[in-house]
Amino acid sequence: MIRFRFTHMVRYHSTSHFTLPLSTSSLKDSPHSNLLLDKLKDTYLNGKLVVGHENATESLNSTSSLPMTQFPKNKIFVQVAQDDNVGSWRKPFVKWFRLGVYMVKYYKEGVKNTYRLAKDTRPLIKQYKDRLSTELCKSVEFKEIEHRLKKRAGSEPIELLPLNRRQFVEFHRRREARKIPVFFVLALAFEEFTAVICYLWPKVAPHNCLTPGAFAKITRSHVNHELGQISEVPTYKSPYTLPTDQVFAKLKSSFIEQTPRWKLALYQLVDNKVLPRETLLRIHHYLFVDDWLLLQHILHNESTVLAPAELVDCIMLRQLYRSEEDLNAMANDPEGQRVLVWRLLIYWAFRFDKTITCGGESLFAERWGVNNVSILNYSGWENGDLIGTRELPILEL
């Protein structure tokens, strides 16, 4: 087994330099150079991949563990303004009162859902502890090796994992339950004004209790500052060969496993080089498994409906956004939604084209190297940049 893995690491170094990011010019000159992008494009433009609130695919979405994408203020204010049972002189007060009541219910429901999720995922904790992503990553590799050895057709789906995507992300999101005690005290103390506290310090609240404004503050603190500044595809680096300062920089910007600054400072103080790298490795494994589960469903099912909240979460975790962008507003705007979907498709097409995952011949580790974190959250577009509305006509030709 050791010899097998080493062989593929060597193969990576001999082929990685031929991988180029996608670009406007490459799509014009060689429109079919990336077969996975062609598949994903056909799936999306033919309506087999949809973003919407209704009929969201149950095995993929867990919206109860995610924050709202639209703040209800305008809707509630309009309802009160049109309510003839409320006197004109009372309307300003009633508007804010009803909004406050709505938010209290929202927080109550969020805490309840977070607690229920933590309770429901206890059996998985007993079985996997914190190694679920790593174990599933290994399982994917074994299944793909078996798939290739049996020489199955590329269009035939690989054997499924023991968990679906919803169960996988809920296992990860269960950690928000640790915020419940502090948040519960804040909610009791401030009641309707809890929203103000959560806006000022958004990370004190469970993730599914955030407002769009508080969520936007979090996204700005986890933005990828290297966007548009990567002239070439990063060369292979494992977590254990990456310089310590780069490991810490990736951990600071990642939302997947949020490492407090005090913990990073402690790692530096005691010169602990193992734990930060193991955390970075778990982040890499989480994204790989999440990508794999999403792609398997999209490519092998007639219909995939992703909820706007899940689209926003996918974009945020992969850092496929700019600091000035409001992801929630984009996800609920037709044109903005298209931009976000295409960013995700390009990201997947760059990473998984020619892999067994999507009908190719190579394992992901053969294509990129074992545990290659240098391409972690690399957008797949030229210069490591992101597409915008200007590129939509070319992409949707």
pLDDT at 335: 97
Q: Are 330 and 336 in contact (CB under 8 A)?
A: yes
The CA distance from 223 to 364, in Å, is 26
Residues whose CB falls within 8 Å of the CB of residue 170, separated by 6 or more in sequence, listed in order: 62, 65, 117, 120, 121
Q: Are 254 and 222 in contact (CB under 8 A)?
A: yes
> Could you give the C-alpha distances from 151 to 12, 63, 292, 360, in angstroms and in order?
22, 38, 20, 11
- Sites in the chain below the pLDDT cut of 70: 1-18, 153-155
Q: Name the burial class of residue 369, with classes exposed (0-12), middle (13-18) and buried (19+) by CB atoms within 10 angstroms of its CB.
A: buried
Q: Which of 295, 252, 285 is nearest to 172 (CA)?
A: 285
Residue matched to tokens 């011949």? 361
The CA distance from 5 to 1, in Å, is 6
Q: Is the dihedral of CA 62, 128, 247, 6 positive or negative?
A: negative
Q: Are 110 and 214 in contact (CB under 8 A)?
A: no
Q: 3-class SS at 362?
A: strand
Q: How far is CA 153 from the centre of its chain?
A: 29
Residues whose CB falls within 8 Å of the CB of residue 106, separated by 6 or more in sequence, listed in order: 68, 209
Q: Are 325 and 350 in contact (CB under 8 A)?
A: no
Q: 3-class SS at 22?
A: strand
Q: Are 281 and 239 in contact (CB under 8 A)?
A: yes
Element (H, E) at 312: helix 308-317
The CA distance from 179 to 259, in Å, is 15
Residues whose CB falls within 8 Å of the CB of residue 364, separated by 6 or more in sequence, listed in order: 141, 288, 351, 352, 355, 357
Buried b (16+ CB within 10 A) or exposed e, 145-178: eebeeeeeeeeeebeebebbbbbbbbbbbbbbbe
Residues forming beta bridges with residue 362, ordered by sequence position: 355
The model's pTM is 0.92
- Domain boundaries in the chain? 2-50+58-395
pLDDT at 12: 43
The CA distance from 322 to 175, in Å, is 27
pLDDT at 18: 63
pLDDT tens figures, 103-130: 989 999 999 999 999 999 999 998 988 8
pLDDT at 4: 36
